[in-house]
Structure 1
Amino acid sequence: MPSLTALIDFANPHTADGAPRLRHAFGTPSRILQAKQLTEVAGVLLAAEAAARAGAWCVGYVRYEAAPAFDAALAVHPATGPLAWFAVYPQTLPWPQAPVPAPASPTVQWQPSLERSQFDAALAKLDAAIAAGEFYQVNYTSQRSGQWVDDAQTSTASAGLALFHALQQAQPGGYAAYLNTGLEQVLSVSPELFFDWRDGELLTRPMKGTAPRGATPQDDAAQAEMLRNSPKERAENVMIVDLLRNDVSRIAEPFSVQVPQLFHTQALPSVWQMTSDVTARTRAGCTLADVFAALFPCGSITGAPKVQAMQAIRALEPEARGVYCGAVGVLQPGGTATFNVPIRTLTLQSHSGNQQGQAQQVRYGIGSGITSGSEPAAEWAEWQHKQAFVQRATTRFELLETLGLVDGQLMQRSLHLARMQAAATHFGFTWPGVALEQALDHIAQAHATGAWRVRLLLGLQGQVTAQAFELPPSPSTVLLQLAKQPLEEAHSEFVRFKTTHRPHYDAFTPTEPGVFDTLLWNTQHEITECTRGNIALLLRGQWVTPPLRCGLLPGVGRAQALADGRLVEAVVAVRELPEVSALAFVNSMRGWLPARLAP
């Protein structure tokens, strides 16, 4: 197959989930259209539209910094690349049959992100400006960068394709696109539709309103319901819907602007998002350049009113957004145009390699809409939830279960396998049921006597590893220390599911002699778990353990104690610890260990 320069994997915005997707690969373009100056942007859009109407495919982007090409009042930073870029293709290629294999070590060395104090200071400025009536909402964002180092000496293009594949696994569905312009690679797995324009009918679908996914099916449904009915989230959504209605009306036939759907909730791997639809019939003679002039940038990533919001963005954000928050899309033969809002989007640029291999600079942005009802802690948490897809895609990890093996019998084997299978489903790992059973059978037969700790690992493609280690006798009582700071990742998928990715736990590893483990708490000052097991607390005469919604691993030993009636779920605040009359460390391998808290 020829070298791939673009991939488009877009949902059909006019049909329900499960409908065929617009899914094409593209090789060598017949020509490139690009705008390096603001005065050239409209011309590039018109040329791309003309090529599509003549039968070609056009795939490309418009940078956020192209906004002044349509309205000089829209404030932006200077651009760091072409303002608009489109590749023209005479035909498509088949979608690659096999996924692009991930490199040997697809990890990114991320540089420190925006400090919480800087974040709070920015929100304080926005809150004051909103109170003063300068604007209603601003979409505040921050860029994060890092180096992706590939020990396998993979080519720059292959590295980008591999990372795009990993991003799609972490953030499936939506409006995904891969572009290799030669200078940079754009890897977009955006869930947000900017607009779809075909046969004179325009559909926009702004995404505004976010809630984290729940730790259990019941909690997850409750989070979605809370999002749908949240006055703050609904107000945030309506502000942008009103802005889009106004923008769309500039190119719409009279009385054709409609809002057929409000407050639709969409499930993504780490968050629930709220969308609404704004539709219209465009006026005769309307061009793609006219559509961009009316809508760009999408109001969901600026705020309202757009001019004032973008002025605030220019003042607060220290650098250009780039393709992030611009538009990435495809023009089909005949002229149908579909563009995403490139959130959940990375750019990859290569520079000189080092002794360890080829180094690529990776950048992505994360943001949220700030209104008068925004609370810094909640917005900060939203940022963490939104960027989970990046952590998953750029982290090499395996699924993990640790089982007790006593005299050839694996303790609670079926429960451990069920938990691992749930994790495999969540992360998209191949599930090799028979191979796992065989590996456990083999290790049990090989260790027919004594007490052992079995470490069971599952790789992305279904690779199975099982090892046994001697299990020392459990102490009669263990000493726990209380964490000195909250576990900010308490609601991460790497807490809800057991994997080998544990830096968030390793940071709390006890260093004092005699301390067995650390008792953790979340940013709401609620007790959660220990780093290697769950916690049971005797509070006001009843043994309780924190519910999963506090942010903890659903331990097998914990589940058994709940099923036996030995434990019930209850939220326990850190301030309540003086009222706790007894503690126990709980996991399936050690069982129930009496514990005490270090002074």
Structure 2
Amino acid sequence: MMENGPDGVEALPLTRVDAPAAPHGCRDRLVERDRLEWRLADGGDPAALAEAFLAGHGLAADDLSRPAAHHLDGPCGAALYVSAAAGAVMAAGHPGAPTPAPALPDLAVVVYDHAATPAPPAPPPGGGWWIGPWTPSWTDRQHADAVAAVRAAIGRGDVYQVNLVGHAAAPYTGDPRPALARLARLPGARYGGTLHGPGWSIGCASPETLIALHAGRLVTRPIKGTRPATAAGRRDLLASTKERAEHIMIVDLERNDLARVAATGSVTVDELFAVRRWCDLWQAESTVSAACADGLGLADLLRAVCPGGSVTGAPKLAALDLVAACEPVGRGAGMGALGWIGPGRLDLGLTIRTAAADGHLLHGWAGGGITWDSDPDAEVAEAAAKARPVRAALAGGRTRAHR
């Protein structure tokens, strides 16, 4: 476990903060005060560690229902990152196979203070950026066989649905941060942003809200169901009984997760199966909200919602066991959480459409939900379609604008 505590704000460089959900009016006036990085091998409870670390830096997170105001003379907030494995530990589930990117932490909390002057403009990216070929951690045949294994488990009654995720890595040369920033700007990225640490970087283009809290209201927006962003694709998604059943199953799971930390009887489905666009894909999204229970702390909230139901399956713990048995490598930065916590607000995106860099490789993850009606070859094709815009952005290519 690593903590970094400078003697004073003036000891650290002032840079523009691009973490997802960071306050826009403060992003060019923030300086890192301190950070916590935690890995599975460190042991302990990552949810409790995050809450205690924030409290030690003037960001009380033991009662998120308590109103709090954002002041320029105090800490602005903190970027918060939780890997899929850390989320599984928080839920008392199986953390999965070993990560393919051990340089990345499983938990990162980066606290920022306000500075009096804005950050200088970022220097233009240097040349020499190159990405080699992407090498998957499983073949299409192995992916399809895993889909068949999940269908068999559903047939036995072990699970109702499981999200399977594949990983791929590519060598690179140059500075990965501009490429990850390009990824973060993809159309439809509600949680577009980046986070960096010593020897690692994460870029996120996620459209999905894992959990948000503002003015005492909890919100999650599960996404499940994908088609090409064409008129025919939209019609097909709306008409698909398989996609709708898969989606509603996850909405029910998210309702149950929220009910664990909500005021009794306050959970509502505000919007069901709304079709929205991310790059060249249609996706189905619902909105579930609830009133925050009195005295709810960050640790309990993370334990309730991590890892996200749309990237695990139902029942969640049984799905995590099957994921660990089927996926050859860990999910690393994918399928976790990344966002911001500050006075009076929390906003975490689910790290789908996410890539990470260590000192040698770029890493990406993509997958989809498997039900009894899933076709193995179609699931392999869907994962490839989700990965395609991410890889194009990292390589410097263009994707069509959101329309």
What's the TM-score once normalised by structure 1's chain length? 0.57
Of 151, 157, 173, which residue of structure 2 is paired with 1:127? 151
Tell me what 2:107 maps to.
84
What is the CA-CA distance between 1:133 and the residue it aligns to? 0.9
What is the CA-CA distance between 1:170 and the residue it aligns to? 4.0
Segment drifting more, 322-331 vs 295-304:
322-331
Q: Measure, in 2, the Cα distance between the counterparts of 1:61 and 1:89.
A: 14
Q: Measure, in 2, the Cα distance between the counterparts of 1:318 and 1:59.
A: 30
Tell me what 1:45 maps to.
50
What is the CA-CA distance between 1:76 and the residue it aligns to? 2.7
Give, as a single letter, the amino acid of the residue that structure 2 aligns with 1:281: A
Tell me what 1:366 maps to.
366
Q: Measure, in 2, the Cα distance between the counterparts of 1:67 and 1:391.
A: 26
Give, as a single letter, the amino acid of the residue that structure 2 aligns with 1:229: A
Compared with structure 1, are the counterparts of its residues 71 and 230 closer, same or farther at alpha carbon in structure 2 (3 Å cutoff)? same
Tell me what 2:353 maps to.
344
| Structure 2, unpaired ranges of 5+ | 1-11, 61-73
Give, as a single letter, the amino acid of the residue that structure 2 aligns with 1:298: G
User: Do residues 391 (structure 1) and 400 (structure 2) align?
Assistant: no
Is the Cα–Cα contact under 8 Å of residues 213 and 346 in structure 2 kept in the other structure?
yes
Compared with structure 1, are the counterparts of its residues 319 and 221 closer, same or farther at alpha carbon in structure 2 (3 Å cutoff)? same
Is the Cα–Cα contact under 8 Å of residues 184 and 194 in structure 2 kept in the other structure?
no
- The within-5 A match list for 1:66-465 is 66-78=86-98, 80=102, 81-91=104-114, 100-101=124-125, 103-112=127-136, 114-150=138-174, 159-171=175-187, 173-213=189-229, 220-332=230-342, 334-350=343-359, 360-396=360-396, 426=400
What is the CA-CA distance between 1:383 and the residue it aligns to? 1.3
Q: Measure, in 1, the Cα distance between the counterparts of 2:291 and 2:385.
A: 37
Aligned-partner SS, 2:151: helix
- The within-5 A match list for 1:460-475 is none
Compared with structure 1, are the counterparts of its residues 112 and 71 closer, same or farther at alpha carbon in structure 2 (3 Å cutoff)? closer
Is the Cα–Cα contact under 8 Å of residues 75 and 111 in structure 2 kept in the other structure?
no
What is the CA-CA distance between 1:33 and the residue it aligns to? 2.1
Is the Cα–Cα contact under 8 Å of residues 106 and 396 in structure 1 kept in the other structure?
no
What is the CA-CA distance between 1:61 and the residue it aligns to? 0.5
Compared with structure 1, are the counterparts of its residues 149 and 310 closer, same or farther at alpha carbon in structure 2 (3 Å cutoff)? same
What is the CA-CA distance between 1:168 and the residue it aligns to? 3.1
Q: Measure, in 1, the Cα distance between the counterparts of 2:396 and 2:90.
A: 43
Tell me what 2:68 maps to.
none
What is the CA-CA distance between 1:316 and the residue it aligns to? 0.6
Q: Measure, in 2, the Cα distance between the counterparts of 1:115 and 1:76.
A: 19
Compared with structure 1, are the counterparts of its residues 327 and 96 closer, same or farther at alpha carbon in structure 2 (3 Å cutoff)? farther
Q: Measure, in 1, the Cα distance between the counterparts of 2:399 and 2:164.
A: 33
Tell me what 1:7 maps to.
18
| Structure 1, unpaired ranges of 5+ | 12-19, 151-158, 214-219, 351-359, 398-423, 429-599
Aligned-partner SS, 1:365: strand
Give, as a single letter, the amino acid of the residue that structure 2 aligns with 1:61: Y
Aligned-partner SS, 2:400: helix
Tell me what 1:512 maps to.
none
Aligned-partner SS, 1:328: strand
Give, as a single letter, the amino acid of the residue that structure 2 aligns with 1:52: L
Of 32, 43, 50, which residue of structure 2 is paired with 1:29? 32
Give, as a single letter, the amino acid of the residue that structure 2 aligns with 1:386: K
Aligned-partner SS, 1:42: helix
Is the Cα–Cα contact under 8 Å of residues 9 and 21 in structure 1 kept in the other structure?
no
Q: Measure, in 2, the Cα distance between the counterparts of 1:143 and 1:52.
A: 35
Q: Percent identity?
A: 32
User: Do residues 56 (structure 1) and 76 (structure 2) align?
Assistant: yes
Tell me what 2:6 maps to.
none
Q: Measure, in 2, the Cα distance between the counterparts of 1:109 and 1:23.
A: 38
What is the CA-CA distance between 1:271 and the residue it aligns to? 0.8
What is the CA-CA distance between 1:32 and the residue it aligns to? 1.1
Compared with structure 1, are the counterparts of its residues 100 and 225 closer, same or farther at alpha carbon in structure 2 (3 Å cutoff)? farther
Tell me what 2:63 maps to.
none
Is the Cα–Cα contact under 8 Å of residues 212 and 270 in structure 1 kept in the other structure?
yes
Q: Measure, in 2, the Cα distance between the counterparts of 1:370 and 1:23.
A: 41
Q: Measure, in 2, the Cα distance between the counterparts of 1:313 and 1:112.
A: 17
What is the CA-CA distance between 1:149 and the residue it aligns to? 1.9
Render the CA deviation track for 1:407-465: whole Å, top value 9, x for unaligned: xxxxxxxxxxxxxxxxx89369xxxxxxxxxxxxxxxxxxxxxxxxxxxxxxxxxxxxx
Is the Cα–Cα contact under 8 Å of residues 38 and 68 in structure 1 kept in the other structure?
no
Give, as a single letter, the amino acid of the residue that structure 1 aligns with 2:19: I
Give, as a single letter, the amino acid of the residue that structure 1 aligns with 2:105: P
Aligned-partner SS, 1:39: coil
Q: Measure, in 2, the Cα distance between the counterparts of 1:394 and 1:113.
A: 19
Q: Measure, in 1, the Cα distance between the counterparts of 2:204 and 2:357.
A: 11
What is the CA-CA distance between 1:169 and the residue it aligns to? 4.3
Q: Measure, in 2, the Cα distance between the counterparts of 1:102 and 1:239.
A: 47
Render the CA deviation track for 1:520-565: whole Å, top value 9, x for unaligned: xxxxxxxxxxxxxxxxxxxxxxxxxxxxxxxxxxxxxxxxxxxxxx
The Cα RMSD (Å) is 2.8
Aligned-partner SS, 2:332: coil
Segment drifting more, 101-110 vs 194-203:
101-110
Compared with structure 1, are the counterparts of its residues 73 and 180 closer, same or farther at alpha carbon in structure 2 (3 Å cutoff)? closer
Give, as a single letter, the amino acid of the residue that structure 1 aligns with 2:184: Q
Give, as a single letter, the amino acid of the residue that structure 2 aligns with 1:426: R
What is the CA-CA distance between 1:6 and the residue it aligns to? 4.1
What is the CA-CA distance between 1:235 and the residue it aligns to? 0.7
Q: Measure, in 2, the Cα distance between the counterparts of 1:224 and 1:25.
A: 39
Render the CA deviation track for 1:75-132: whole Å, top value 9, x for unaligned: 5335635331111111278588679547344433322553221112111111111111
Aligned-partner SS, 1:56: strand
What is the CA-CA distance between 1:23 and the residue it aligns to? 7.6
Aligned-partner SS, 2:59: helix
Aligned-partner SS, 2:275: strand
Q: Measure, in 2, the Cα distance between the counterparts of 1:94 and 1:194.
A: 31
- The within-5 A match list for 1:494-533 is none
What's the TM-score once normalised by structure 2's chain length? 0.83
